Amino acid sequence: MRVRKFRLITLIGDIVILAISFLIATSFKPSGVKGYLPTHYIFFAGLSLIWIIVSLMNGKMHRGRIVNYTTLFTRVLTSNIVALAIIALFMYSIREYSYSRTVVLGTSVIATLLELMFGIPYIAYKKATIQEYQNYAEYTATRKKSEKELVDKINGNGNGNGHVIEEEINPRVIKAIEGEAGSEMAHAIMQIAGTRLNKKTAVVSTTTIFNITNLPEEKYDYIINLHRFNDIIKLNYFLDEVNFKLPYKGYFLGCVETKDQRKRRLLKKYPPVLNYVYYVFDFIIKRVLPKIKFTKKLYYLLTHDSNKVLSRAEALGRLARAGFMISQESFAGNYLCIEAIKIGDPIQMNGINYGPIIALPRVGKHGEMIKVYKLRTMHPYSEYIQDYIYNQYDLQDGGKFNDDFRITSWGSVCRKIWLDELPMLINLLKGNMKLVGVRPLSRQYFELYDPDLQERRIKYKPGLIPPFYADLPSDLVEIQESEKRYLDAFDRNSFLTDFRYFWKSVWNIMFRNARSR
């Protein structure tokens, strides 16, 4: 009964919003409402009918479908774009060109903005009134896990070595750590490193490369730096120098204040309202300015590369780029401690930057590596910890990683509305991808496939829309079976296969909520 009442209210509300939008759109024309109402009422009736049908099919008027701001924007935008496209296609098919494009487009745009304007307070109201009564099991299964939960899931918050016998640890090392960083940090490091804290352990607390350079080469098999990554000048060069001083399989332990820890600290430090004002300015200076080419110099002038903001993914990624494999992570007070093992030489950056558009190396036709363009949705240096993520986290439905902390908050929204895929049109224009085809895979992901499918899929161009969105497989095995079926059908009739997979994928994306996560 409540569902029917909700649909009736939203149905009436949508018609009212459309009527208001139509009146506003026509009021901008020289003839005004009186001039356009007699000639455009049929268009308004047709738009209203299509608008309501698409909204009902896409769940925009379903009580249980719009539960947060993301679903609100996704349902409203997809429904309204599809409705506008349908009526535009219908008008074109019957050769009806007498209707004003300003009125047609203006009505749709204004209605969309009004729906969002009314929808945002509604979501805020619903979250404020029912959040306390939400089913806890469902909440924990669907919400984004915190950094601490993800780290605890990996290694029990630093208990990877089991019971530590303090008598076997070099007391000089523990005393040095306690004197510089306190007993809590000393205990955390002892739990991580255990008996590896021996006579060949060097403990420093520095932000400059000079103090690492002065260490004897390969004299120590464990280097600990108690100063956080955030204050280290030229962090990449610093980590490269640490790598040079360690033997193969030598250990390095460092600490970082992650961006999430920093946010909590700042919001707690200042009084309400003022804390968020300060945080916004801090966000702009410390996270926006260094990412833009024309403001980097201003950022360095203001900060001198000190107290920089680092995400957990970036800290791990910088270590991996420097030739280290992540061994353990553990929270100690306000910092995240990371232990890493030297497994090779540092990877040279070769002019890599972290602007808004990225070129990802992917396996293309004939096995050649092609550049696939996408909007950046991950934290910097995330590409270097692909193997670490695969080893620590399971694959979710669709072949993506569970709890992938590399994805930024805004990046998650971009993926849900496909905005991150828009630059792939460049690949379509360059001719190294086609509209429908197997997904372009990274080398690491490609190696997970069966050898026979590896050999077969490189005979074809990858596609912007993969068979996944038509078949909706749930795991890697089903994904491979889905691609085999597509390739079999493509070999029989390429045009009809791509045509069928395209429209089936569009249907699933629009009405079955098939999204990249």
pLDDT tops 80 at residue 164: no
What is the tens place of the pLDDT at every residue in 300-334?
888 888 899 999 999 999 999 999 999 999 888 78
| Averaged pLDDT, 9-33 | 76
- How far is 419 from 411, CA to CA, in rounded Å? 9
pLDDT band at 33 (very low <50, low <70, confident <90, very high): low
pLDDT band at 128 (very low <50, low <70, confident <90, very high): very low
pLDDT at position 230, please? 94
What is the tens place of the pLDDT at every residue in 101-122?
677 778 888 888 888 888 777 6
Tokens representing residue 307 in the block = 């107290």
What is the tens place of the pLDDT at every residue in 196-248?
888 888 999 999 999 999 888 878 999 999 999 999 988 999 999 999 999 99
- How far is 314 from 257, CA to CA, in rounded Å? 11
What is the tens place of the pLDDT at every residue in 329-388?
988 878 999 999 999 999 887 666 666 778 888 999 999 999 898 888 888 888 888 878
pLDDT tops 80 at residue 6: no
Q: Listing from the earlier edge strand, what are the strands of the sheet with 201-204?
A: 201-204, 222-225, 251-256, 335-342, 324-332
Q: Using an 8 Å Cβ cutoff, are 195 and 201 in contact? A: no
What is the tens place of the pLDDT at every residue in 451-477?
999 999 999 999 999 999 898 888 889
pLDDT band at 179 (very low <50, low <70, confident <90, very high): confident
What is the tens place of the pLDDT at every residue in 250-297?
999 999 999 999 999 999 998 988 888 898 888 888 888 887 777 888
pLDDT tops 70 at residue 35: no
pLDDT tops 80 at residue 154: no
For tokens 């979250």, the residue is 127
- How far is 412 from 516, CA to CA, in rounded Å? 9
Q: What is the 3-state secondary structure (H, E, C) of 102-153?
A: HHHHHHHHHHHHHHHHHHHHHHHHHHHHHHHHCCHHHHHHHCCCCHHHHHHH
Tokens representing residue 461 in the block = 């161009």
pLDDT at position 313, please? 92
Say what the pTM is.
0.62
What is the tens place of the pLDDT at every residue in 201-212?
899 999 999 999
pLDDT tops 80 at residue 156: no
pLDDT at position 114, please? 86
pLDDT at position 135, please? 39
Say which range, 120-134, 344-358, 410-424, has the weakest mean pLDDT.
Answer: 120-134
What is the tens place of the pLDDT at every residue in 431-452?
999 999 999 998 888 999 999 9
pLDDT at position 348, please? 84
- How far is 310 from 232, CA to CA, in rounded Å? 12
pLDDT band at 401 (very low <50, low <70, confident <90, very high): low
- Kindly state the DSSP code that residue 144 receives in the 8-state scheme: P
pLDDT at position 444, please? 81
pLDDT at position 129, please? 31
> Would you call 156 helix, strand, or coil by DSSP?
coil
Task: Please give the helix or strand (H or E) that residue 311 lies within, else none.
Answer: none
| Averaged pLDDT, 168-174 | 75
